[in-house]
Amino acid sequence: MSWREPDLFYGDKEPPRSLPPMKAYRAAPRSTPKPFAWESMGTWVRHMHRLFALEGPNRDHYRRTRETARALTVERIRECRHDDDLERCEAMLVEAAAGWLYGLDRAFSRAERGTLLVEVRNRRKLIALGRTEAKPKGRRLDETRLPFSALIRLIQTHQDPLVVERLRLERARRDAIGETP
């Protein structure tokens, strides 16, 4: 009905104004759940298993699961020193699309899972070798980083004459600055 048409009950008079409702019929905003805090890879694995055990369709649960899962980064994987925790994490990343209601396949894209999986496997291999960090990038045989005894041994036994020349130049440089034992 337009404002020009007369109301059937009130004629030309305006109907009485109604008061706004005292109660809003909108749900009160809730605080969003925070992701679980964790210090080690084993704690992360336990938190994720606990979240996966609760398979109920709930937006807050999905958000907490996603944010807890996304707290796993390449830097945090590199900090891990325990092979058994890395093994559990690797199994979770491999079985990400195993049919959980809301699993790691929803929190990470396939490319992100692949990056994390490569980092976990590299870290496990380093731990198996007894190293804490990867070798720095550079030449395979860097004569400046060789100990003096290895330098002398390689000068005497190496088969490539160009490499032997480089090693002799390095020995001469060390002699000039007084680095020889």
Q: Global pTM?
A: 0.63
- 97 vs 100: CA distance, rounded Å: 7
- 58 vs 69: CA distance, rounded Å: 16
pLDDT at 127 over 90: yes
The band of 21, judged by pLDDT with boundaries at 50, 70 and 90, is low
Ramachandran angles phi, psi of 11, nearest 5°: 70, -130
Both tokens assigned to 11 = 């004629």
Contacts 24+ apart (CB under 8 A), 11-16: none
The band of 7, judged by pLDDT with boundaries at 50, 70 and 90, is low
Q: Which residue has the higher pLDDT, 102 or 130?
A: 130
* Over residues 56-68, mean pLDDT: 87
In the chain, % of residues over pLDDT 90: 49
The band of 164, judged by pLDDT with boundaries at 50, 70 and 90, is very high
Q: Give the model's pLDDT for residue 53.
A: 86
Determine whether 37 is exposed, middle or buried from the number of CB atoms within 10 Å of its CB (0-12, 13-18, 19+): exposed
Neighbours of 124 (CB within 10 A): 18
Task: Give the Å distances, CA to CA, from 75 to 10, 72, 105, 116.
Answer: 74, 8, 20, 10
* Over residues 56-83, mean pLDDT: 90
* Over residues 84-111, mean pLDDT: 89
